[in-house]
Structure 1
Amino acid sequence: MKRLDLINQIIARKEQLGITIENLAKLSGVGVRTINRLLKNEDVKLSTIEHVTNFLGLDFAGNEQVSIQALKKHRAHEKALFLASVVQGTSALEMQGLEDDSLNTIIAAYEKEFLSGSYKDTLWVA
């Protein structure tokens, strides 16, 4: 696969996920200017391409390694864990920490909201 084909695969995957350049940069650990250079097919380090393709679930040839659905589920789980940890941390400070079953119920509810509920538009916000 030519480099331009890989860039086109990266752009297509970015659009399929509905992720902005700014959030792609933050979540993949690459600078915004570097992402812009990559998408314009300008020179960037191979490690940059690796960070971006890994984050998007692609290999160096642009082949899908992780499905869109799996990427979304993983991201929803990450965000749900973060929110639940904030709730649990605050509750623990007040000596009212949640039991594991209750905490898992909250995590599942957050995941559902990120995947199909009112928060689905914030799934890829860093």
Structure 2
Amino acid sequence: MKEIIQTDTAPAAIGPYSQAVKVGHLLITSGQIPLTPSGDLVAGGIAEQTGQVMRNLEALLAAAGSDLNRVVKTTVFLADMNEFAAMNAVYEQHFTAPYPARSTVQVARLPRDVRVEIEVIADLS
């Protein structure tokens, strides 16, 4: 049985999907882009955008009664792999060891032409 997780402290879905889904002991988030909870695109470069994405993920995890310490896997989508180091500098401020597994890929384009999108899987057990 799946439970839909929804919160006003993260941006609403901009399509036919859920912000996050809890199934069993797992929480799976949709990819978060740098939109504020009110739906505005964050100004600035990759560092500012990554910071907003991480705040959105924290809000979704909190809505499920969890936090970043329970994340076991992340997937990072970058518009430009040359921005990896700047993204990673912000990303690592939000996680502590032992770190989650991670995949990072460059993609041709992201929604609203943002620089970064991140999704996570967290263990809620």
Which structure has more helix as a fraction of its residues?
Answer: 1
Which structure has more strand as a fraction of its residues?
Answer: 2
TM over 0.5: no
TM-score class normalised by the smaller sequence? under 0.3
> Which TM-score applies when normalising by structure 2?
0.26
Q: Return the structure number with greater relative CO, CA threshold 8 A, min gap 6.
A: 2
